[in-house]
Amino acid sequence: MERTKSKMNRISLLLLMIMPYLLSGSSPPPADCSNCAIYRSYISGDMQMWKMGLSRLQEEYRLKPDSCTLYTLTEARYGYIGFLLGTGDKETARPLVDVFEKEIEQLAAFPEYRAETEAFRISLLGFRMGLNPARAVTLGPKALKQLQTAMQTGGNNAAVWIEKANSEAHMPAFAGGSKEKAADSFREALRLFEDLPGLSACNWRYLNTMVLLGQLLEEMEDYSGAREAYLKALKREPGFRWVKDELLPAVEKKLK
């Protein structure tokens, strides 16, 4: 009798865990495949290490073409392209964006990464606009439509909410842009990360979302909120150099 009761309790717990996904029509999130070499390069700011990590992931995927490795590779390329465009290095970024697009289409073959695939498609359009701002006239509406698709597909996925926040932070107000909305979307992404049962200690995007929220709050002149976001990042990773040496000291000066 006790064994039967214990078994029923386990079944009930399982149903509670999967019920949100059954109701939303989406799949439970796949395992966190974060790469610790990419994470270390992120917290240290060593982009040469990031490039080496990308090369290793490419070779790993060539030898073992599974969905987890492909997702990690695509995510790492996404981060590296974002870094290049953020530093104005469009020439290096341009061919990588084409590679990124091919990886997204490969990832689309794996249903467990459907939400992440749709989120990457939003970022791909953003990268295209970053390479050529004149294309925003045609690509902007496509990005809005793609955001709707991603939200319908993965409304409970942190990656989708990150792209929603990025879109809201940069699109004009008449198209639905709002820094306040973007801040709320970043917070929702963080909540979804934190709800993951197997969040990896090497998940660099979780940390990066805290940074994106902090930077956005600084733009909004909410310096206390930005400081809180940066402190949260340092609590998670005390060795996060960018936050420890630059972002946090700078916002604390604004609070004086």
pLDDT score, position 28: 52
pLDDT score, position 246: 97
Tell me, what DSSP letter sits at residue 34?
-
- 3-state SS, residue 1: coil
> Is it true that domain 32-211 has CATH number 1.25.40?
yes
- Whether 217 shows a pLDDT value over 70: the answer reads yes
- Whether 1 shows a pLDDT value over 80: the answer reads no
Measured N-to-C along each axis, helices 114-131 and 136-154 cross at an angle, to the nearest 10 degrees, of 170
- Whether 251 shows a pLDDT value over 60: the answer reads yes
The structure's pTM equals 0.86
Tell me, what DSSP letter sits at residue 60?
H
Query: Rounded to an integer, what distance in angstroms lies between the CA atom of residue 255 and that of residue 250?
Result: 9
- Whether 16 shows a pLDDT value over 70: the answer reads no
* Helix locations, 25-135, DSSP H: 36-44, 47-63, 67-86, 90-107, 114-131
Write out pLDDT tens, residues 103-128. Answer: 999 999 999 999 999 999 999 999 99
- If one compares 33 and 191, the residue with the highest pLDDT of the two is 191
Write out pLDDT tens, residues 221-242. Answer: 999 999 999 999 999 999 999 9
Q: Which two tokens stand for residue 49?
A: 């290490």
Tell me, what DSSP letter sits at residue 64?
S
Query: Rounded to an integer, what distance in angstroms lies between the CA atom of residue 89 and that of residue 236?
Result: 30
Average pLDDT in the chain: 89
Structural contact between residues 37 and 73, judged by C-beta atoms closer than 8 angstroms = no
- Whether 161 shows a pLDDT value over 80: the answer reads yes
- Whether 61 shows a pLDDT value over 90: the answer reads yes
Q: Which two tokens stand for residue 125?
A: 């359009």
**DSSP secondary structure string, 184-232?**
HHHHHHHHHHHH-TT--TT-HHHHHHHHHHHHHHHHTT-HHHHHHHHHH
Chain center to CA of 220? 22
Q: Where are the domains of the chain?
A: 32-211
- 3-state SS, residue 53: helix
Span 23-50, average pLDDT: 81
Percent of the chain residues past pLDDT 90, beyond the cut: 83
pLDDT score, position 197: 87
